[in-house]
């Protein structure tokens, strides 16, 4: 606030003289649009937090392997996450310009680019799992606990790329609810029960919980990509109807 006030005094942008009133209707629209997106972030963070807690009850070795694998998966996630943000902007701009074909192309380009990046990371995790784990620790026991989780991380990379970039494209189209609903179903209704069953009933340990996350990401990636495909069909139909008119 101090910096803003100083710039305003120097350049006189009009901040001190502007009308100050709360636009409840606009705030309501922003809340309806933004709350599901925030809820989706909460759903995703909380499931990984719960999985970390459950693995923590298994002992220090599973926990160490989990932290290394999660660090790697989070690192590779940053690339499609950035592509997703760009997709939201480009799709939104296309729709704002009343160019739905451009919006659809931008969304599909982001989804394909994000999926391709994650497929590349997947190959790296499969081929270089041991060197990656070895870069974190020289302990053979921790390396042995990490490698299976890196393999599971490699298995879900592609679908994770699909779900996050499709989410960005859908947000650009104004659909913030689909991501929240799909992730609740994928993570909490499917992924967590499957992971818990594999980990504690079939005694697969941390790998079982990660396989549950993998199942949830496969569901989320597939469902959100299908939702975006349905959205692009609606956009193309709206374009055709305007041309006919």
244 phi-psi bin (left φ>0, alpha ψ -120 to 50, beta other): alpha
Res 76: pLDDT: 95
- Indicate the pTM of the whole model: 0.86
Res 21: pLDDT: 76
Res 223: pLDDT: 96
C-alpha gyration radius of the chain: 22
Res 16: pLDDT: 76
Band of residue 240 on the pLDDT scale cut at 50, 70, 90 = low
Res 239: pLDDT: 58
- List pLDDT tens digits, range 76-132: 999 999 999 999 999 999 999 989 899 999 999 999 999 999 999 999 999 999 999
Contact partners, residue 200, CB within 8 Å, separation at least 6: 208
pLDDT over threshold 70, residue 37: yes
Secondary element (H or E) of residue 235: helix 205-244
Whole-angstrom distance, CA of residue 188 vs CA of residue 82: 25
- List pLDDT tens digits, range 178-225: 999 999 999 999 999 999 999 999 999 999 999 999 999 999 999 999
Band of residue 18 on the pLDDT scale cut at 50, 70, 90 = confident
């Amino acid at each position: 606030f101090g910096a803003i006030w100083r710039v305003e005094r120097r350049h006189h942008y009009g901040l001190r003289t502007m009308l100050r009133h709360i636009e409840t209707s606009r705030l309501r629209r922003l809340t309806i649009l933004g709350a599901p997106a925030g809820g989706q972030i909460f759903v995703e963070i909380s499931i990984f937090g719960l999985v970390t807690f459950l693995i923590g009850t298994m002992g220090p070795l599973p926990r160490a392997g989990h932290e290394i694998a999660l660090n790697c998966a989070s690192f590779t996630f940053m690339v499609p996450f950035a592509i997703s943000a760009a997709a939201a902007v480009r799709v939104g701009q296309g729709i704002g310009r009343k160019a739905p074909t451009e919006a659809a192309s931008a969304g599909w380009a982001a989804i394909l680019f994000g999926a391709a990046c994650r497929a590349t990371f997947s190959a790296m995790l499969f081929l270089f799992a041991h060197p990656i784990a070895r870069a974190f620790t020289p302990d053979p026991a921790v390396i042995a606990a990490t490698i299976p989780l890196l393999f599971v991380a490699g298995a879900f990379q592609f679908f994770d790329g699909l779900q996050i970039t499709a989410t960005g494209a859908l947000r650009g189209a104004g659909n913030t609810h689909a991501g929240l609903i799909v992730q609740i179903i994928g993570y909490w209704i499917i992924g967590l029960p499957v992971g818990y069953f594999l980990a504690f009933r079939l005694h697969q340990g941390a790998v079982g919980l990660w396989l549950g996350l993998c199942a949830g990401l496969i569901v989320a990636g597939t469902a959100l990509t299908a939702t975006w495909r349905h959205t692009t069909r609606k956009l193309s139909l709206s374009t055709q109807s305007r041309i006919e008119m």
